[in-house]
Structure 1
């Protein structure tokens, strides 16, 4: 008999599936991973939920029907490969874990290394996997005071799970050992050493051997020295394309341009494919010098553009239209008259190395190119044969005094009082200066919860209106964390997120309920 499931909409293109327990989670995850549904983009498992992101509302509806018909009572098949992790058991909390479990230190080591762990789901960082064990004796609480920095390779326990920290990060897990196994390497064919569903054994060793990683191959299809040099980086300037969907189960968000329409428009004007890599910059101040003749287009804001020649002479050019930037000339982006983020496309596209099939900079996880700095040489690829520049576009529209963003209520609307849910859509919210590519932090009348306690971490999506204990919402944007532990009161429609990308501090938002856009009934 099929296991009971509750499918909640998470916006207009995603589903959050509530399940009875971890076995059903692993079964659904294995089913969707082994045979992806049409339009399936990402599958993010958690302790009792699976988040499925689709390419369209229609695809989300079809996936929901498939999930309802699935037999999740059957245990998922075992992974073909067993990952063995050499571990030196000398962790700072090893003695504390022995006290908490009533075992000796040798007993803790034997219990941890003597069982096969299953990678249940990914975590807060690329390559972090929650490992479910067979031996309940190792269940321990998190530390009462989290550490501010845990070294990469730390082997840890918390609750019923074990994990290996893939990189240096804060955390509250109990540290029992360490390994030199590289849990995350975006330059490998399989970047995560342990993927969800994999089996893991920890092998005790007396010493660790460090294995060096060869340097990644450099990109390059253009002429050496052909590109642009950054003379002034401006604010929050990063390389962006349309992102890297399909890696959320490994802890990697899609990322990419916040205003996807503006990047597509700039690329069309410059004669590039829609997903070519360009620059995203905030509030002007970016200055680029051409190394070789370039064709450039700028979109997204009403920004003044000045070209200065080597002789000091200058001229103004228009945004939303292609223009030539000749060898040795500089392009300066002034302060936009309206809007926040501008996008600079160069014919051929920026030819920085791809990471996980994309060139986007993920500011949360550090995946992709580093933020642009003064003196950076950005190579430009050769333009595709037959590519042509586009016709000029109308100037970017003036932002409204109040930006309306449509949203689908839920998936955790039941965590809030009816009055607060009504207030989410009735009041005006103000964007605060603490906002960034991860999300817009909003100020207004705090939302009140209808229940106490904490929500188990579960998958999140761009557009999620997450509400921390303060009651003040955070509207997640492209670099949002893959999972979160605060309830989501609603999710902004994908079509409205470009508008959110152009909202700076002080901008006002009204959330407009759009329950009819939900792919499944609320």
Structure 2
């Protein structure tokens, strides 16, 4: 067992093989101080609370773990209908040195089992004992893989739950619903599930084929219909006295809160506000619980208030005005709570500094929760949809404290400014040359426009050179991880990043640097400063 630093709040444990990783993951359930575990192909990522256990103490506990050779118990069995007509079927068969028919027959005959989840909600990494299946990924991932695609990569097969980028070899497709938030459990392929694939030659029969415990989401349809009926009956504001309406959305206007940690086993990342400090400041200003749902706006927007209330704007810094129903316009001070009356419109100007405004309203935004959180996960498609013009959001009852004076505005960067972010090295810094490690910490990196809540794409004059070639088996990644794809230009993971990945991670932001990263506008320059390792 080798224990590596994954961040200042996470360790990555290397196991001998997949079976040992699965057994260790089960053995560490309920371990004091452990927040979440993300199993991988030969690793387990262990996130911990440093206020409850230190990295050194946790590393000693993990290293002392003894597990037997008993295979983890099964958690059920499902059958998935597949039409084997994937566009990579010929290429995959050729890479394995077999005919297409033999590949399909062995895929059907193999005893498959879900080893772990990751990448996206409902995506199970399914492995068998058939040694045939060891398929290389595409060297250049597709930007769009259709939902329901059945694919191979390495020793795994998997089914894409929703349209997303991906580099796996596509061998077929299915209509089985891999993820349904209204199903128990939501993921069709949970760790430990036994999987059987059933060939369907007629595409029209896919939807009628037996899919084990899978369903077509009737509970969701009923719930949506009930919500619409309630909205029609109650009128604007969905039956509440106070609400906020989107008049003009920004480049991206979302509902966010503290996120949904604890669902890594389902392939669900925590997500949540990109600038947690701004969320807490906005909620404190209006008297909410610190984790109440807020609005997160990339760039300017216009919001209209229904009913009387209190609001505050934190995060990015720009011109803020409130236009009353009588047409009178007054300036709003950043971070300060202000009263709102029916018909008032809040205008957020394009930020002068920072990237994301956070708008708190007294009582909190009362959007429908998913897995206990109202956060919008843009990669997973969980939580409320991105907000568009005309959307009316009810205001809840999360105000449990008096209104407080606002927080002092932070010194956030503008485009072109230089920012220093603190990092820890690892877990895969040994995959890079000594020169690359020096470049990482001495070169300036520029935030490119190709950035979002999944990750910030950085550009540097000198790319990071690897000393170890080949593919890395899928392993867990934390928010703030610095992943390095083959072109050597890093991607800095933000809250909606995939739980697992196959590109090496050279380092990760410390927890206190995460909020600033969420406010980096395109064109900002940054340097990385290394914190001393706490475990190794």
- Would you say 1:419 and 2:424 are equivalent positions? no
Shift of 1:264: 0.6
Aligned to 1:82: 76
Shift of 1:20: 1.5
Aligned to 1:192: 187
User: Counterparts of 1:461 and 1:116 in 2: how far apart (Å)?
Assistant: 32
Shift of 1:398: 5.1
User: Counterparts of 1:31 and 1:482 in 2: how far apart (Å)?
Assistant: 20
Shift of 1:142: 5.4
- Would you say 1:434 and 2:450 are equivalent positions? yes
User: Counterparts of 1:473 and 1:94 in 2: how far apart (Å)?
Assistant: 32
- Correspondent of 2:302 among 287, 296, 299: 287
Measured at CA, do residues 232 and 46 of structure 1 come closer, stay the same or move farther in structure 2, by a change above 3 Å?
same
- Correspondent of 1:343 among 345, 358, 363: 358
Shift of 1:352: 1.0
Aligned to 1:256: 272
Equivalent residues of 1:127, 1:250 under 8 A apart: yes
- Would you say 1:476 and 2:493 are equivalent positions? yes
- Correspondent of 1:43 among 37, 41, 45: 37
- Would you say 1:387 and 2:401 are equivalent positions? yes
Measured at CA, do residues 487 and 232 of structure 1 come closer, stay the same or move farther in structure 2, by a change above 3 Å?
same
- Correspondent of 1:271 among 275, 280, 287: 287
User: Counterparts of 1:435 and 1:146 in 2: how far apart (Å)?
Assistant: 18
Measured at CA, do residues 486 and 306 of structure 1 come closer, stay the same or move farther in structure 2, by a change above 3 Å?
same
Measured at CA, do residues 54 and 91 of structure 1 come closer, stay the same or move farther in structure 2, by a change above 3 Å?
same
Equivalent residues of 2:243, 2:307 under 8 A apart: yes
Q: Which whole-Å deviations, capped at 9, do the CAs of 1:16-61 have from their partners, x for residues lacking one?
A: 11122111111112222xx321232222222221111123373544
Shift of 1:249: 3.3
- Would you say 1:409 and 2:425 are equivalent positions? yes
User: Counterparts of 1:477 and 1:39 in 2: how far apart (Å)?
Assistant: 23
Aligned to 2:21: 25
Aligned to 2:465: 448
User: Counterparts of 1:429 and 1:171 in 2: how far apart (Å)?
Assistant: 26
Shift of 1:330: 0.6
Shift of 1:479: 1.5
Measured at CA, do residues 94 and 480 of structure 1 come closer, stay the same or move farther in structure 2, by a change above 3 Å?
closer
Aligned to 1:133: 128
User: Counterparts of 1:483 and 1:513 in 2: how far apart (Å)?
Assistant: 24
Partner SS, residue 422 of structure 1 = helix
User: Counterparts of 2:182 and 2:446 in 1: how far apart (Å)?
Assistant: 41
Partner SS, residue 394 of structure 1 = coil
Equivalent residues of 2:118, 2:498 under 8 A apart: no
Aligned to 1:367: 382
User: Counterparts of 1:127 and 1:398 in 2: how far apart (Å)?
Assistant: 37
Shift of 1:430: 2.2
User: Counterparts of 1:172 and 1:431 in 2: how far apart (Å)?
Assistant: 25
Matches within 5 A, 1:295-374: 295-374=310-389
TM-score normalized by structure 2?
0.87
Shift of 1:77: 2.5
Aligned to 1:467: 484
User: Counterparts of 2:169 and 2:459 in 1: how far apart (Å)?
Assistant: 36
Shift of 1:399: 4.3
Equivalent residues of 2:182, 2:217 under 8 A apart: no
User: Counterparts of 2:152 and 2:466 in 1: how far apart (Å)?
Assistant: 31
User: Counterparts of 1:337 and 1:178 in 2: how far apart (Å)?
Assistant: 47
Shift of 1:112: 3.4
Instruction: Judge which range, 126-135 or 243-252, deviates more.
Output: 243-252
User: Counterparts of 2:93 and 2:496 in 1: how far apart (Å)?
Assistant: 39
Shift of 1:241: 0.7
User: Counterparts of 1:380 and 1:227 in 2: how far apart (Å)?
Assistant: 5
Equivalent residues of 2:296, 2:356 under 8 A apart: yes
Equivalent residues of 2:413, 2:521 under 8 A apart: no
Equivalent residues of 1:53, 1:60 under 8 A apart: no
- Correspondent of 2:216 among 200, 212, 216: 212
Aligned to 2:10: 14
Partner SS, residue 262 of structure 1 = helix
Instruction: Judge which range, 235-244 or 431-440, deviates more.
Output: 431-440
Gaps of 5+ in 2: 209-214, 232-236
Equivalent residues of 1:30, 1:76 under 8 A apart: no
Gaps of 5+ in 1: none
